[in-house]
C-alpha cells in the first residue's frame, strides 16, 4: 500500500482552474472530451498511483471505460430516437453502439461478442484522433496539465498529483463535466425538438437526481434552533433548504452545503454566494456541529464530506473574487467580494 499524499488546497485550486479553462474552451464538436475527463476521474479513484504520484492509464482501459459511459446514452431517448452528441453528424461511437444495442441489450453481453475487440480497437483510434490529444488544447495553448501528449507503452501517464486532485475533487469534476455536457446536448438544435419541454435529459444522460431535501428540514431546524441561517429570525413552518454554495455553481447535493432559510432569504440570495460573515458562520457550524450533522445527513441518505464541501466553498469564493462578482449580505444588500473570504479558511488574505 502506497501512502497517498493529499494535494495542497492550492494545488487543488490550480487543478480546478485548469479544468475550468478546458471546459470553457468552448470549441467542442462532440461530447468526447467530457467523457474523457470523466474516465480520467473514475480511474483516478479506482487505481493507486505510484509513490511519486503518477498514474499510468493504458489506452485500452480508457477505451473500455469510454464505451461503458456511452453505452447508457446510446439508448433511445424517445422511441427510435437517440440524443445527438456532436455538432455535425451523430458522434460515430454512438452510432456504433446503437447498432450493437439493437442486437444485445446489456453491456455485459456486448463484452462477450466477437465484435467487442474490434469496438475497443476502433475506440482507441477514436481517442487518439479526437479527444486525447485535443483535450488540453485551449486556444492555441497546449496546457498539458493532466498528462503529456504522448503514449508510453500504450498508456498515458497522469502527472504527479493529478490523480490525487481528481480524487480529492471528484464531486466537483463530475458536476462541472456533467453540467457542461448537458448544456452542449441541450443546445444542439437537432436535439431541441426531441427534448421538447421534457426536463428529463440530465436523468437520461447521467441518472442525476436531486436528493429529497425535505428530509433535511427537521435536522437543520434543530441545529439552527428554529431560526433562519441567514437573518436569524424564527422560521414558523417548513422553511427552505438552501444550497449554501448555489446549485448552479456546484450541481451536486452534498450534506454540508445545506442550510435552512426563509423562502424570502433564499430567493434574495438567489444564485449568489453569501457574504463573508455567513461564510464564517457556515464554517463554524460545520466544525462545531460535526457529529450531529453527520448523523442528520446519514439518516437522510445524503452524501456528505465536510472537507469536500469546504473545498468547493473555497473554490467557489475564489472564482467569484477572481471574476469580481457580487456576494449577498442579507436583505437587499450586496457587495463585490474581496480577499476577505480567505481568512476564515486560514488562508492569508
Ligand atoms: Zn431569514
What DSSP string describes 184-244? HHHH-HHHHHHHTT---HHHHHH------GGGGHHHHHHHTTTB-TTT--B--S--EEEES
Residue 88 lies inside a defined structural domain of this protein: yes
Residues 59, 192 within the same domain: yes
Domain endpoint, select from 161, 186, 206? 206
Q: What is the 332 CA–ligand 1 centroid distance (Å)? A: 12
Q: What is the 330 CA–ligand 1 centroid distance (Å)? A: 8
Mean pLDDT of 18-22: 92
Q: How confident is the model at residue 139 (pLDDT cuts 50, 70, 90)?
A: confident
Q: What is the pLDDT of residues 175-184, one digit of tens each?
A: 899 888 888 8
Q: What is the 213 CA–ligand 1 centroid distance (Å)? A: 18
Integer Cα distance of 118 and 122 in angstroms: 6
Q: What is the 254 CA–ligand 1 centroid distance (Å)? A: 22
Query: Grid coordinates representing 62?
Result: 480508457
Q: What is the 311 CA–ligand 1 centroid distance (Å)? A: 26
Q: What is the 212 CA–ligand 1 centroid distance (Å)? A: 22
Residues 143, 201 within the same domain: yes
Residues 131, 202 within the same domain: yes
Residue 42 lies inside a defined structural domain of this protein: yes
Q: What is the pLDDT of residues 299-319, one digit of tens each?
A: 886 777 898 788 779 878 987
Residue 1 lies inside a defined structural domain of this protein: no
Residues 142, 223 within the same domain: no
Residue 43 lies inside a defined structural domain of this protein: yes
Residue 105 lies inside a defined structural domain of this protein: yes
Q: Comparing C-alpha atoms, which of 4, 73, 5 is closest to residue 38?
A: 73
Q: What is the 259 CA–ligand 1 centroid distance (Å)? A: 11
Integer Cα distance of 324 and 6 in angstroms: 30
Residues 36, 95 within the same domain: yes
Q: What is the 233 CA–ligand 1 centroid distance (Å)? A: 6
Residue with cell 469534476: 173
**Three-class SS state of 57:** strand
Residue 178 lies inside a defined structural domain of this protein: yes
Residues 239, 162 within the same domain: no
Residues 41, 185 within the same domain: yes
Is 0.75 surpassed by the pTM of this model?
no
Q: What is the 268 CA–ligand 1 centroid distance (Å)? A: 10
Query: Grid coordinates representing 151?
Result: 503514449
Domain that holds residue 303: 213-345
Q: What is the 239 CA–ligand 1 centroid distance (Å)? A: 9
Q: Kindly list the protein residues that place their beta carbon closer than 5 angstroms to ligand 1, a single-atom ion.
A: 228, 230-231, 262, 265
Query: Grid coordinates representing 331?
Result: 436583505
Residue 34 lies inside a defined structural domain of this protein: yes
Q: What is the 340 CA–ligand 1 centroid distance (Å)? A: 23
DSSP per residue, 90-102? PPHHHHHHHHHHH
pLDDT confidence of residue 104: 87
Domain endpoint, select from 141, 173, 206? 206
Residue 114 lies inside a defined structural domain of this protein: yes
Residues 179, 296 within the same domain: no
Q: What is the 235 CA–ligand 1 centroid distance (Å)? A: 8
Q: What is the 243 CA–ligand 1 centroid distance (Å)? A: 14
Q: How confident is the model at residue 194 (pLDDT cuts 50, 70, 90)?
A: confident
Residues 141, 161 within the same domain: yes
Provide the angle, in degrees to the nearest 10, between the axes of the packed helices 9-24 and 306-322.
60
Residues 67, 155 within the same domain: yes
Domain count, the chain: 2
Q: Which residues of 215-246 are buried (b: 16+ CB within 10 A; e: fewer)?
A: ebbebbbebbeebbbbeeeebeeebbbbbbbb
Residues 21, 92 within the same domain: yes
**Three-class SS state of 35:** helix
What are the strands, taking DSSP E only, across the chain? Answer: 55-58, 137-138, 141-142, 155-158, 240-243, 258-261, 273-274, 326-330, 333-336
Q: What is the 228 CA–ligand 1 centroid distance (Å)? A: 5
Q: What is the 331 CA–ligand 1 centroid distance (Å)? A: 9
Domain endpoint, select from 163, 183, 206? 206
Residues 158, 238 within the same domain: no
Q: Comparing C-alpha atoms, which of 209, 210, 222, 202 is closest to residue 289?
A: 222
280 pLDDT above the threshold of 70: yes
Q: What is the pLDDT of residues 86-119, one digit of tens each?
A: 887 788 899 999 999 888 877 778 888 888 999 9
Amino acid at each position: 500500500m502506497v501512502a497517498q499524499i493529499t494535494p495542497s488546497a492550492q494545488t487543488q485550486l490550480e487543478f480546478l482552474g485548469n479544468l475550468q479553462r478546458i471546459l470553457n474552451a468552448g470549441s467542442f464538436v462532440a461530447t468526447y472530451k467530457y467523457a474523457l475527463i470523466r474516465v480520467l476521474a473514475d480511474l483516478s479513484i479506482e487505481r493507486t498511483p505510484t509513490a511519486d504520484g503518477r498514474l499510468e492509464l493504458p489506452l485500452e482501459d480508457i477505451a473500455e471505460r469510454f464505451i461503458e459511459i456511452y453505452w447508457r446514452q446510446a439508448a433511445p431517448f424517445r422511441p427510435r430516437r437517440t440524443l445527438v452528441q456532436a455538432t455535425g453528424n451523430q458522434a460515430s461511437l454512438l452510432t456504433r453502439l446503437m447498432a450493437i444495442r439493437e442486437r444485445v441489450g446489456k453491456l455485459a453481453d456486448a463484452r462477450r461478442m466477437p465484435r467487442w475487440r474490434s469496438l475497443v480497437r476502433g475506440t482507441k483510434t477514436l481517442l487518439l484522433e479526437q479527444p486525447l490529444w485535443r483535450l488540453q488544447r485551449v486556444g492555441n495553448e497546449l496546457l498539458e496539465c493532466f498528462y503529456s501528449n504522448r503514449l508510453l507503452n500504450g498508456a498515458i501517464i497522469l502527472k504527479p498529483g493529478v490523480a490525487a486532485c481528481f480524487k480529492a475533487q471528484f464531486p466537483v469534476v463530475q458536476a462541472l463535466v456533467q453540467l457542461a455536457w448537458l448544456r452542449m446536448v441541450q443546445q444542439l438544435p437537432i436535439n431541441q425538438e426531441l427534448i421538447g419541454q421534457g426536463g428529463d435529459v440530465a436523468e437520461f444522460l447521467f441518472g442525476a437526481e436531486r436528493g429529497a431535501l425535505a428530509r433535511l428540514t427537521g435536522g437543520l431546524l434543530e441545529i439552527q434552533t428554529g431560526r433562519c441561517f441567514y437573518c436569524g429570525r424564527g422560521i414558523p413552518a417548513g422553511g427552505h433548504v438552501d444550497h449554501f454554495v448555489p446549485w448552479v455553481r456546484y450541481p451536486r447535493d452534498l450534506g454540508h452545503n445545506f442550510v435552512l432559510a426563509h423562502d424570502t432569504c433564499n430567493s434574495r440570495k438567489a444564485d449568489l454566494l453569501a457574504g463573508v460573515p455567513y461564510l464564517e458562520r457556515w464554517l463554524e457550524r460545520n466544525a462545531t456541529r460535526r457529529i450531529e450533522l453527520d448523523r442528520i445527513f446519514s439518516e437522510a441518505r445524503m452524501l456528505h464530506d465536510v472537507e469536500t464541501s469546504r473545498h468547493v466553498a473555497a473554490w467557489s469564493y475564489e472564482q467569484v473574487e477572481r471574476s469580481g462578482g457580487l456576494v449577498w449580505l442579507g436583505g437587499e444588500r450586496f457587495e463585490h467580494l474581496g480577499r476577505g473570504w480567505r481568512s476564515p479558511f486560514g488562508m492569508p488574505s
